[in-house]
Structure formats: structure tokens, C-alpha cells
Amino acid sequence: MSNEAANCLFCKIRDGEIPGTIVFRDERCVAFKDIAPRAPMHTLIIPTEHIGLAKDLGHAEAGYRVVLNCNADAGQTVFHVHAHLLAGRVMGWPPG
């Protein structure tokens, strides 16, 4: 386990070291309720493996965003769950 993963709050929730309300778990991902929800239903979905993809692509230090668009009203055009990794510019919040 990398030092980054060893210090990761989400990895600790995944491993049961920190309490969390797990709503789904399989061999690839874990979903749990956010402790400070921003909507009536606010769930975080993480891969079971601590992935440093943006770091490997050279964007972790400056920052990046991962977006999932689900169904037409959210802007999805290919109706298969997929993520967008966005980086290389300053992005505002909230996103939309």
C-alpha cells in the first residue's frame, strides 16, 4: 500500500478503519453516504483500488476534476456510465 493510500480517508472508510454508511460494495467499488450531504441523497462512489491516474498524467499537483454525466438532463450523450477526467485550467464550483 502506498503512503498516499495509507493516509487516505476514503481508503480508511473502505477498510472499516473509520465508520461509514456503506450502501454498496463489490470487488471493484464501494459506495457510502457523504457525512456532509449537499443533496437529500449524496453518496460517494470510489474504486476499491487507490488510483493515482491524474498524478500519472501530470495533473495531480495543479488539480483536476472527474465528472459523471447521467442521462440527458445532465448532458450525457452516450448512455453507458463513464467518467470524464478534466484538467489543465482553473475550474469553478459549483460546476453547474
- Give the C-alpha separation, 92 to 39, whole Å: 19
Q: CB-based burial of residue 69 (10 Å sphere; 0-12 exposed, 13-18 middle, 19+ buried)?
A: middle
- Phi then psi dihedrals of residue 3, to 5 deg: -60, -40
Residue 51 CB neighbour total at 10 angstroms: 11
User: Which of 50, 59, 80, 82 is the catalytic position?
Assistant: 82
Query: Which positions ≥6 away from 82 have C-beta within 8 Å?
Result: 68
82 counts as catalytic: yes
Active-site positions read 82
